[in-house]
Amino acid sequence: MTESTDPTPQVQPGNHAAPRPRTGDPDAPTARDRLRHAFRWRWSRGQLVASVLLGVLGFAGVAQVSSTDQDDVFEGARQADLIALINTLSLATDRAEAEIADLRSTRDSLRSDAEATRTALAVARRQAEQLGILGGTLPAVGPGIRITVEARSGTVGTDQLLNGLQELRNAGAEAIEINDTVRIVAQTGMTDAPEGGLVVDGVPVRTPFVLDVIGDPRTLATALDFEDGFTEEVEEVGGRVVVDELDRVEVGATREPAPTRFAEPVGEE
């Protein structure tokens, strides 16, 4: 009887144990390596792109919700009020841009020693003129509006006029006079006259009240039409307001500057 030379181990019937892997190959993966490889996350280019797009979409959704919450503030506002607000903001932006351009021009001029003195004098004169117009000590001319208030004596008084003047100042009015007689400035005093009409800085003023106002005509006219504004207040007491937008308005009334009692200008050291 001859012996078999086959090295493969024989499996006896009924023995179901798996054969052991050969240990002669050092590069063969172990069971742990195969398990780790099975659970390892594989990122493809499509998955990366999809993740980025989902992140951007989420950010856009949050931004849209925030924007919607802010827009709720203006829900229910009248179209005229929104237009007036836009005009006022546009006017403020234009003023700021013009002031920036003027300051840059002044800065560039002052950099030159030869023009420094001349530029400083020009700036001083321009500031003096602006202060004279705002303070009411100089006459002024420019585009603006003329407001005519028609009412029975004793109906329209300081309650309505003061609110109207405040609305005009907020809209950028630069010079105001009433009935070609009294210049309206920040220090103007106004009271109701016992016999009807007004007393403005000690001067009697009677209806119809005519206010000449210099500023942006459209913005000034719109400012008077706000809900519960000047026009509605006058109409509630039986009056009528007529606004004319003009390319040229003359404000000729002036006032003497009030002397200072305590303040003195600071001289150069």
Q: Please provide the distance, in angstroms rounded to a whole number, between the alpha carbons at the two ends of the chain.
A: 132
pLDDT at 48: 58
| CA nearest neighbour of 58 among 50, 47, 68 | 50
Q: What is the pLDDT of residues 16-57, one digit of tens each?
A: 444 454 545 555 566 666 656 655 655 555 555 566 666 666
Distance of CA 111 to CAs 101, 102, 184, 268, Å?
16, 15, 39, 21
Average pLDDT estimate for 182-208: 91
Two tokens, residue 54: 């989902």
Q: How many CB atoms lie within 10 A of CB 207?
A: 19
pLDDT at 39: 54
The overall average pLDDT reported for the chain is: 78
State how far Cα 4 lies from the chain centre: 100
Q: Whole-model pTM?
A: 0.57
Two tokens, residue 43: 């990122």
pLDDT at 60: 62
54-67 burial, b at 16+ Cβ within 10 Å, e below that, comes to: eeeeeeeeeeeeee
Distance between CA 89 and CA 170 in Å, rounded? 11
| Residues 6 or more apart whose Cβ sits within 8 Å of residue 78 | 227
Q: What percent of the chain has pLDDT over 70?
A: 68
pLDDT at 53: 63
Distance between CA 72 and CA 155 in Å, rounded? 39
The answer to whether residues 159 and 239 touch, using CB atoms and an 8 Å cutoff, is no
Q: What is the pLDDT of residues 94-151, one digit of tens each?
A: 888 888 888 888 777 766 666 677 777 888 888 888 888 888 899 999 999 999 999 8
Q: What is the pLDDT of residues 64-75, one digit of tens each?
A: 655 555 455 556
> Which domains are seen in the chain, by residue range?
77-255 (3.30.70.1880)
